[in-house]
Structure 1
């Protein structure tokens, strides 16, 4: 039964048009609402964004990414914040963009959500994307074209993070990513209301049925989804993830 429901979800989220990229839609689960953006890694051009190539300073906003892409003849069709960052907006953990490692992997525990082990890495490779638990990533060292480390893991091999509490009163608007076993699909999710970790993790495990999912952030969680008329604003961001198409394709 759940496979049938997931199949309907994929059709609804991806749509039937082969030219469409990173389709976003609303989903409800256990009385809570979420916005889900689905990316097909074979079809779509998914990238991480951090700094301006001209100034070397953080882009900080979806609008800045749009400006960068416009100069390349590209258009941003979806984006969200994609990992925790320091006050200067530099990544807390591993960060790789276009094959260049800008910050190294952090394997120790520490304060805050990032240090709530196990945490993980979102890894983009040719034709696939994967959420990989950090210690496994350290052992296997996959080659990622783009990568962002964050934490905690929401779902690890089909199980919720062991530290999540059902009745936790720590509630925020939260966002994260889950990936399919074959790496072809990535689901980017942001809650529409404040939820705790356990509720958010269950959405990935029990509704999307993914076996690996990673938390990106809370409080600052934001989404760019022009198909929904949405471009969240707020404090400047660090790492961001987005799907890109040729500007001509966006007009067709």
Structure 2
């Protein structure tokens, strides 16, 4: 369960999906769905293409692919920016195989709003790294996806975030604990600024590092509440896999 303290009336609803815990949280009058994953023990993966190399793109397609192995999704969300053909904009690793190199230079759009970062899933843990730190440490990620900007960097908000910004979207992202055992995934249920979104991770969820996945196209799947947001095809998807009954 989410351990951080929240403002009065923040927790509106909670559901259990195996060891994935999702809650409705309100912070500074903005609503969010927050899902916490036990990264040390849960089967957390990234998905892009099927065994034939065809784009998965939808939560239902991931479930179809997992069904062959007697598995299914407990939870999932989109996990990083992508090009028109749905290929990852930045670094991407799946099942230990690098499909896209690290992009460390600045560029247009939110991805190039440095510092950006990498979400890395390893044996027994998951971590958000600032990109240059990721390059320096070169962790052995079984799965990795690069996105940006960073929301929280060593406990501080991204320096470019403005409290009075007028850029608001539905946004999603992930934060991790210092020991790598907690991966906290969030999608906003209201339109929020980067400052508001990052502040939730810093002040409420207390994750020292957090990464923005995307905005406007953000979608989530959660089996326990029968939530499965639909729309056009996505690029990388992150999800927790469980045994099917």
Q: TM-score, with normalisation over the residues of structure 2?
A: 0.93
1:54-107 CA deviation, whole Å, 9 max, x = no partner?
2x1210000000000011110110000000000000000000000000000000
Contact 2:4 2:205 in 1 (8 A): no
> 1:135-146 residue pairs with structure 2 within 5 A?
135-146=132-143
> 1:93-242 residue pairs with structure 2 within 5 A?
93-242=90-239
Contact 1:14 1:23 in 2 (8 A): yes
User: For 1:135 and 1:66, how far apart are their aligned partners in 2?
Assistant: 34
Partner of 2:19: 21
> 1:50-129 residue pairs with structure 2 within 5 A?
50-54=48-52, 56-129=53-126
Partner of 2:35: 37
User: For 2:172 and 2:198, how far apart are their aligned partners in 1?
Assistant: 10
Contact 1:13 1:37 in 2 (8 A): no
Matched residues, number: 238
Three-state SS of the structure 2 residue aligned to 1:5 is: coil
Q: 1:166 to 1:4 in 2, by over 3 A?
A: closer
Gaps spanning 5+ residues in structure 2: where?
none
Q: TM-score, with normalisation over the residues of structure 1?
A: 0.91
CA RMSD of aligned residues (A): 1.7
Gaps spanning 5+ residues in structure 1: where?
none
User: For 1:194 and 1:13, how far apart are their aligned partners in 2?
Assistant: 21
Q: 1:4 to 1:108 in 2, by over 3 A?
A: closer
1:214-234 CA deviation, whole Å, 9 max, x = no partner?
000001100001212210011
User: For 1:185 and 1:4, how far apart are their aligned partners in 2?
Assistant: 12
User: For 2:223 and 2:14, how far apart are their aligned partners in 1?
Assistant: 15
Q: Which runs of 4+ in 1 moved over 4 A?
A: 12-15
User: For 1:140 and 1:46, how far apart are their aligned partners in 2?
Assistant: 22
Contact 1:21 1:243 in 2 (8 A): no
More helix by share: 1
